[in-house]
Structure 1
C-alpha cells in the first residue's frame, strides 16, 4: 500500500517497524529537491530501498554518497578500481558473516549510514534484515531505560590488520531526530563499563536478543540492481546466510559523528584485588 504522506515519490512501507521501498527515483540523476526528500524519508523509515538502479556510474555513486558526508576508505575490504570509496562486498571473500550488528561501532566515530547496491543476487535466499533501535529502547520498562541511560559500553574489534576500541553510551540520542535508541550489538560490543563481567554479560545478552525481536524488524529480498540506504545510528542489520550461489555488491559508507547520550552516572567497574576481569572477545567483521 502506498504511503499517504505528500511526496513526489511512491513510498511503500515494508513493515510496521521500519523500512520502505521508494519508487520513482533515478539515483544517477537525482536533483537537490529529490535528495532532500529522500533524506527525510530515510530519517522516518531508517532504511529505504530503491530498485532497478542498474545504470549508476561510479562517479555518480560517489557524488551521491558525499551528499550525506565524507566517505570512508575501508582498511581491508577490496574496492572498485579507481574509486577507493566504493567497497566490493563479495560472498566468496569474507562477505558472509551472519550476525546482528551496527557497522563499525568499535570506531570512536562510527558511520552515520551506508549505501549498498547488490549487483549479483542469488536465485533464492540472501535477504538482509534490519532492526529499529528506537522501538527497542522505547519498548523497555521505565526503570530499565533509566538504568541504561546512565551506562556506557566498550566496543572493540581484534582481527589481523584492524585493532580498535571505543566507548559509547548504551543509549544514544540521534543528532537529527532527538530520539533515543539502544546502541549495543552482538558483533562489536565487548562489555558495559560500569558493570561486573557477569552483570554485563547478562544484560548485554538480554538487550541483544530483545533489540532484534521480530516486531522491531523488516526483511528485504534483493534483486539485481537494488539499492539500500540505512541510518547506522538507529538500526542493526543481519545478512541471512541461506544461499550457496555467489552474491556481490558495491557499498559506500558515510563517515560518522561521535555518539551522544547522557553522561555516565557511575565510574567504571573495578575488580577487587586479585580478581580478573575478562570481557568477552569481539572479533566479528561486518556482514551485509
Structure 2
C-alpha cells in the first residue's frame, strides 16, 4: 500500500504568508484544495513550491475552483489559453510600487495566482502586506474616521479614464468578517468626503503606515513556484533589483463588490478657486 505524505505548512512571517509543500496542482484533490483555501483565508497569501510541471489548464482549473477567471483587458495573454496573463520583465512588467490589483473596477478581483517560470539568479522577490493587521493597528479614533469614508480608485490608459470606482476605505471580508484598509498608492485617487489637502495628507499617512515592515512578508522565488494571494486584504510589491529576465503566468479570479460601513458624510464641495483633486495618471497594473 502506497503511503500518502501529508502537506507541510510553514509560516513565512509573523504578519502573513504560508508556504505549503507536498501538493501537485496538476493532481489537486478536494481535501488539498480545502486546505489551500483555509490557509489563504488565515494567512492572506499562500506559496506552493515545486510546481515546475504545472500545465496551463491545471493553472486555470485551480483558479476556477475559487470563481470565474478573468480575461484581462490590458495585459498580454497566453495565445493558447487567453485566461492566462503573461508577465515578462523584458516587456516592461515591473511594477515596483505597493498596490492591490485592479481596485478601479466596481468588482475588483478576489485573488490572483502567479506561476513564475524564469527567474534571475538573484533578486526579483515579491512582498505582500496584511491590510487587516494594518487596520487593526490604527488607533481607535483613526479607525473610527476611516470607517466612515470612501475612496475613488481610477486608472488611465493614454489620456482617457478607462475605469473609475468608489469603494469603502475599510472593507469587510465576506468570509472571515475581518476589516481591512482598502487604499493603495497606484490606483487610489482621493477621498471624496475630504478637501484635496486633507485627502492627500490622510492617504499619504495611510500608504506609509501600511508599508511598514511589521505588516509584510517577502518571498524568494524559485523556478516553478506558485503564489496565490487574497486581493481583498493584501497589497503587493515586485522588488525591482535585477536585470535578467523574470517571466511568469498569472490568472485572476473575478471578485465581489467591496462592502463596509456606509459613508457618514456627503462628498466635499470645494469653494470656488479651491484646490480640487488631481487627475492621477496611473500605469497599467501588473504584479
TM-score band by shorter chain is: over 0.9
SS at match of 1:204: helix
Structure 1 residue 280: Cα displacement: 5.2
1:62 is aligned, of 55, 60, 68, to 60
Q: For residue 282 of structure 2, what is the aligned residue in structure 1?
A: 283
Matches within 5 A, 1:45-60: 45-60=43-58
Matches within 5 A, 1:234-245: 234-245=233-244
Structure 1 residue 94: Cα displacement: 2.2
Matches within 5 A, 1:96-115: 96-115=94-113
Q: For residue 179 of structure 2, what is the aligned residue in structure 1?
A: 180
Structure 1 residue 15: Cα displacement: 0.3
Using a 3 Å threshold, how does the CA distance of structure 1 residues 269 and 200 change in structure 2: closer, same or farther?
same
1:143 is aligned, of 118, 138, 141, to 141
* Mapped pair 1:231 → 2:230: yes
Q: TM-score, normalised by structure 2?
A: 0.96
Matches within 5 A, 1:58-207: 58-160=56-158, 163-207=162-206
Q: C-alpha distance in 2, partners of 1:274/1:237?
A: 38
Q: TM-score, normalised by structure 1?
A: 0.95
> Does structure 2 conserve the Cα–Cα contact (< 8 Å) formed by 1:238 and 1:287?
no
SS at match of 1:92: helix
**Which has the larger displacement, 274-283 or 101-110?**
274-283
Q: For residue 258 of structure 2, what is the aligned residue in structure 1?
A: 259
Structure 1 residue 75: Cα displacement: 1.0
Q: For residue 4 of structure 1, what is the aligned residue in structure 2?
A: none
Q: C-alpha distance in 2, partners of 1:197/1:229?
A: 36
Unmatched 5+ residue regions in structure 1? 1-6
Unmatched 5+ residue regions in structure 2? none
Instruction: Say how many residue pairs are matched.
Output: 282
Q: C-alpha distance in 2, partners of 1:53/1:229?
A: 13
Deviations 1:135-160 (A, max 9, x none): 00000000100000000000000123
Deviations 1:168-194 (A, max 9, x none): 000000000000000000000000010
SS at match of 2:91: coil
Deviations 1:249-272 (A, max 9, x none): 000100010000000000001111
